[in-house]
Chains A and B, each alone.
Chain A
Amino acid sequence: MINYFTSHFDTLRLEFWPLLVGGLASGFIYAMVAIGYTLVYGVLRLINFAHSEIFMSGGFASYFVIRAVIGTSQPSGLESILLIGLGVVSGGAAGALVAVLVERVAYRPLRRRKAPALAYLISAIGASYFLFNLAGKEFGRYLYAYPTIFVNHPVFTIFGAGVQMYYVVVAIAGVIMLITLDRVVAKSKLGRSVRAVAQDAETASLMGVNIDRTIVVTFLIGGALGGAAAFLYGITSGVIYTMGFTPALKAFTAAVLGGIGNIRGAVLGGLLLGVVESLSVAFVQGSYIDVAAFTVLVLVLLFRPTGILGERLGRSA
């Protein structure tokens, strides 16, 4: 038993920095997906079960766009940067579109009827199930790898850990998008209406906030971030119709960990979960890593269901 731990802590000690860097990179992706859960939860008090498929559709859209643009060329330098931008934008656009469609088809009819919450949950699960199986039918049920967009060599080293180009790309894209979002929610008129609806929908509507439009905007922002994150995720992991399930479950964990309904909490939770999960590689066998992330979820829900930073979208920004 002691042997088990010393040997595993040795792995942890030797591999700490590389694992940390990798964990932060996947943490950015979780954070971007977690924002989608948190925003929708903030205004509707519901978990959007179809968010995993919004993520998936972003991955497929950016895959098809990038493949069409690249053709057989070997991009480098400025081309690579433009392609990354293109992937983020196309993924984000598809994610936003699907998110708005889901809201229109699976949520709004129920909202009109003031359906009980169980109905929303079931309808969202139906939407998720419909979308990912439809994608499997239309695009085939196998994994596609992206064509090479940039050369993934180590750019610099931290404490002996080579930081690869991919991590740099994810971190830069993630930081830009998350800061933009934070500013939009905190400063713009749009963000103000989102926060107002999150605090008190009825009063907000009396003050002239269009609730329907605000909800659509919320889905749109969350979907765009999720779709863009799917592009960053797909660069290394490829695209397949079931790709949304695991990252979305983890992103949900991240949202709960940071305090669901809280934007900065989602970012914190995402980064934390990414690192925890990455470091747990030293202790558990590869096929059980998802169990580690999930254990975090159950523990957080049981002992601190409001998360690290607490709930409430209205207050957070």
Chain B
Amino acid sequence: MSRWWRRPSVVRLASSVSVMAAVELVTGPPGSNAAPMAGVSGSFAEKVSFFGLFASPRWSVFLVYALVLYGVWSLWLHRGRQIRNAASVVLARPRNIAQRGTIRWSAAVVLVVVAALLPHFVSDPFWQTAMVEQIAVYVLLALGLNVVVGFAGLLDLGFVAFYAVGAYATAWVTGALPLPPLFGVHLNPFFAIPIAIALAMLAGVLLGTPTLRLRGDYLAIVTLGFGEIIFLFANNLNGITGGSAGTGQIPHFSIHLASIKYVWGLAPVPYYYLTLAFVVLFVIAFSLLEHSRIGRAWTAIREDEVAAESLGINPLKFKVMAFAIGAASAGFAGVVTAAQTNFVNPSVFTLYFSINILVLVIFGGMGSISGAVLGAIVIQTVSMYLIHTPPAGYQPQDLYIYLGALLIVMMIFRPSGLLPSKRRRREIGLAEAGEGHMDEVLTGDTP
């Protein structure tokens, strides 16, 4: 068994080189049919720096990186204990603080205040728009998916369907669809909020009732298919949704109460405050939910469905409930998007979108509300930054490569996420120790 390619140092070197080769491919200039490997061969940058290192071909630069990685890795193996001890001394205090209830609450209040003051510091119109369309809306979506994936432990790959329902419901109620609105009345988007949320929840019940009987892996693939079907319908039902061209002229939010008249216009900041208010509402509602009877039922089902059922919990009922409740915030996100952009475009409602939301939840921490919020803010800010100031050779679609890689990396190194929920983390630890029954439904034999 002492073959040379199995020696740990050789394996480490080979892994370092292949990791860096992957990074090189991923960050390189885009290739094409004629030059499929442009990402490997091109030169790194035009400017000569670091003794000409960066003017050499990309592969040589990344080879150097690979050697550095190998060095750091070996150092970590030999001196890892000291590094970890030093890190734990530095990190110990904040970790303790974050666990105290009152401090957590005041931290949340401070965060909300910071979020409310943020538009005064951000003057770039790109970032102001991004704060609404790409960050606040995604926080809402991540909160909703967190209920489904995090609380109830159901992997939903078609979450975009509820967002689409919310957006199209807004367009319908405000009279922007080819389909005539209810009673022919064109409503203000404010009235669309309850209708859109109700329709999204209804969609959750309709989609969930048949599919949530299925095992976890089947559920994932079925929801994925449903997401695609929603896209097909939105794209092809010209008489109802306006087809692939989408539908426009959705009015902005407005208030006409006696003497108060206010219209949310194209400016993003008023929309930011509106969305922020709802984010706070949803965060409060979902954290109350987490520790309520329903939340405890979800935990029970997630940890051991058979035991939960024997204690009188109806798994299907609570799973459908999770779908419907998660759909509510996605439906509301749809209302905001539709009203703010005045436009619904079916090309948004694809698998890419669902996976994007999933990444936010996984990165932040499944089952942790603060994690979902943080994940959405961090990842969406980074992705917006990449669009705002793209590095050389970056295409907008490249983001998906990084998100895919991030999912694998998180699952290998930190499956409970950046800000893990304590309970979830314990479950994963127990499952790895071979105790408990978390997610056993996924792999167990069918009855």
Interface residues of A (CB under 8 A from B): 45-47, 49, 64, 105-106, 109-110, 113-123, 125-131, 133-134, 136-142, 144, 245, 249, 252, 256, 285, 287-288, 290-291, 294, 297-298, 301-302, 305-306, 311
Contact = CB atoms under 8 A, between A and B. Distances in A.
A256 B219 CA distance: 13
B143 interface: no
B96 interface: no
* Top 4 A-B residue pairs of the complex, sorted by shortest distance between their CB atoms: A126-B407, A130-B404, A129-B404, A117-B442
B232 A129 contact: no
Interface string B340-351: 000000000001
A115 B216 CA distance: 15
In this complex, the member of B30, B217, B397 whose beta carbon has the largest number of chain A beta carbons within 10 angstroms is B217
Contact of B222 (A122, A144, A297): A297
Contacts, number: 171
Contacts of B38: 138
B405 A306 contact: no
B270 to A, nearest CB: 35
B443 A126 contact: no
13 contacts: A114-B432, A115-B431, A117-B442, A118-B216, A119-B415, A123-B412, A127-B404, A130-B401, A138-B30, A140-B33, A249-B228, A288-B232, A294-B229
A121 B442 contact: yes
B405 A121 contact: no
Give the dominant DSSP class at A's interface. helix
Output the residue of A126, A136, A290, A294 with the most chain B CB within 10 A. Answer: A126
B155 A121 contact: yes
A46 B445 CA distance: 11
Interface in B23-69: 25-26, 30-33, 36-39
Which among A113, A121, A138, A311 has the greatest number of chain B C-beta atoms within 10 A?
A: A138
Looking at chain B, what size class is its interface with the partner chain?
35 or more
Given A120-B411, A129-B404, A305-B215, 17 more contacts: A45-B444, A45-B445, A46-B442, A49-B220, A114-B433, A115-B411, A117-B443, A126-B403, A127-B408, A133-B397, A137-B25, A137-B398, A249-B224, A291-B229, A294-B225, A302-B214, A305-B214
Contact of A311 (B358, B408, B442, B446): B446
Contacts of A46: 217, 442-443
Contacts of A142: 33
Contact of A140 (B30, B224, B358, B415): B30
Nearest to B411: A123
A142 B355 CA distance: 22
B103 interface: no
A142 B34 CA distance: 12
B412 A290 contact: no
B88 interface: no
Given A126-B405, A288-B232, A301-B222, A116 B36 contact: no
A48 B400 CA distance: 19
Contacts of B216: 117-118, 121
Contact of A126 (B25, B408, B440): B408
The residue in B221, B224, B235 that gathers the most chain A C-beta atoms within 10 A of its C-beta is B221
A137 B439 contact: no
